[in-house]
Amino acid sequence: MSRVGHGLPMLAGMSRAELEQWAQEQGEPVFRGRQLADWVFHRLELDPRQMTNLPHSLRELAATVLVAPAGRVTAVDAAEDGTEKLLVRLADGQSVEMVLIPAEARMTFCLSTQVGCPVRCRFCASGAEGLVRNLQAGEIIEELVFGARRIGRLPDNVVFMGIGEGLLNLEELLRAIESMVSPDGFGMSPRRLTVSTSGIVPGIRRLAEFGRELTLAVSLHAVNDELRARLIPDGFRYPVCEILAAVDEYRERAGRMVTLEYTLLDGVNDSPADARELARISREHHAKINLIPYNATDTAFRRPPRRVLETFFRTVEQCGGRVTMRQERGSSRTAACGQLRRRHAAGSEDVLSGGE
Ligand code: SF4
């Protein structure tokens, strides 16, 4: 159970069974817990005072002893293409970002799993300051609910590709995922949830054991260890061969083809030889390659020219790799992950509250 502040439980972090037990501990019948759960999971309501079919006394009690909600949306940055980036301020004053991405009548939410990130990839704004703290499951769920209230429904897809390395906060991430996919929770299809990782091998193996048909995206970014060492510091970097072995294990156990994410950096990992090697990896490990043209931040890396991007794509394709190039979304000035948070790090006026 997620707890914030003075150790009070977070409503968003409680399962249906925990809410039923909580109701009974307050001397209420078990169905009151079910009603609470229905408000959260079906009606996307986190404020007990709005749960009109509960007795007034229980609403007041729940509003007092359960933290609901713990966070709030304090800034929104909208791009011309409809993408919206939300800044979520947490109970302790820290903040994370989430992104709402509309595409072809589908809505994808990109959620954060940590405040900051311990991996500190050298091309990433989110990792620049290292890890501040892990998010609790309830805080991850609140991101989902804040976004869902904004569009009036649950998203079609969720990708855990915001700030943080989810597989280094695995137990809380798995709790949040269980709540999202459980028929007793939000009831989303596990196939519509994508867990992204920078290649944390023990985490990939644990995810394979978890037994849900989640989509897995592994950020490879380089085809050999020497090049990868230039992009990802030592602390949490695993050898490419171990990552690919874990990818094979995940594909076999979860029955899901894995996507290898590859951020293209000018003059670093964008040569024809890199493309041919990437195609070989795709073929031998039955993996999809998703090319991501670098979205420049204030790092030393640059995005390759358009003709280099096109040549790289064609080379992977012609060498038998399954390849896509990520469509760019949210190309406003704060599009790169971590930038909205950094811009508002010194505090900001609330423009929205309570996930509205
Ligand atoms: S790219 Fe992902 S894993 Fe790497 S520092 Fe950024 S958030 Fe962390």
Give pLDDT tens digits for 69-124.
889 999 999 998 899 999 999 999 999 999 999 988 899 999 999 999 999 999 88
- CA gyration radius, the chain: 21
Which DSSP category does 303 fall into? P
Which DSSP category does 191 fall into? G
Residues 6+ apart with CB under 8 A from 57: none
From 114, 117, 297, mutation site for ligand 1 pocket: most ligand atoms within 8 A of C-beta: 117
Distance between CA 36 and CA 220 in Å, rounded?
42
Q: CATH assignment of 3-65?
A: 1.10.150.530
- State the CATH architecture for 72-343: Alpha-Beta Barrel (3.20)
Active site residue 337: yes
Residue 5, pLDDT score: 60
Name the active-site residue from 20, 28, 45, 97: 97
Residue 30, pLDDT score: 95
Enumerate the domain spans of the chain. Answer: 3-65, 72-343
Task: Tokens for 146, please give them.
Answer: 């804040």
Using a 6 Å CB cutoff, which residues line ligand 1?
A: 117, 119-121, 124, 126-127, 163-165, 198
Mean per-residue pLDDT, 263-277: 96
Mean per-residue pLDDT, 214-227: 96
Residues 6+ apart with CB under 8 A from 20: 30, 33, 34, 37
Helix (DSSP H) and strand (DSSP E) numbers for the chain: 11, 14
Mean per-residue pLDDT, 342-356: 36
Count the neighbouring beta carbons within 10 Å of the beta carbon of residue 240. Answer: 18
Distance between CA 330 and CA 317 in Å, rounded?
27
At residue 32, the 3 state secondary structure works out as helix
Tell whether pTM > 0.85.
Answer: yes
Using an 8 Å Cβ cutoff, are 147 and 109 in contact? yes
pLDDT band at residue 297 using 50, 70 and 90 as cut-offs: low
Mean per-residue pLDDT, 309-319: 97
Give pLDDT tens digits for 121-174.
998 877 778 999 999 999 999 999 999 999 999 999 999 999 999 999 999 999
Ligand 1 geometric centre to CA of 164 (Å):
6
Which percentage of the chain shows pLDDT scores above 70?
89
pLDDT band at residue 273 using 50, 70 and 90 as cut-offs: very high
**Phi, psi angles (nearest 5°) of residue 30:** -60, -30
Mean per-residue pLDDT, 296-313: 89
Mean per-residue pLDDT, 312-338: 75
What is the pairing mode between strands 95-103 and 106-110? antiparallel
Atom of ligand 1 nearest to the CA of 198: 3
Active site residue 97: yes
Residues 6+ apart with CB under 8 A from 7: none
Asked whether this chain's domains 3-65 and 72-343 adopt the same fold, the reply is no
Determine if the peptide bond prior to 183 is cis (ω within 30°).
no
Task: Tokens for 151, please give them.
Answer: 């569009």
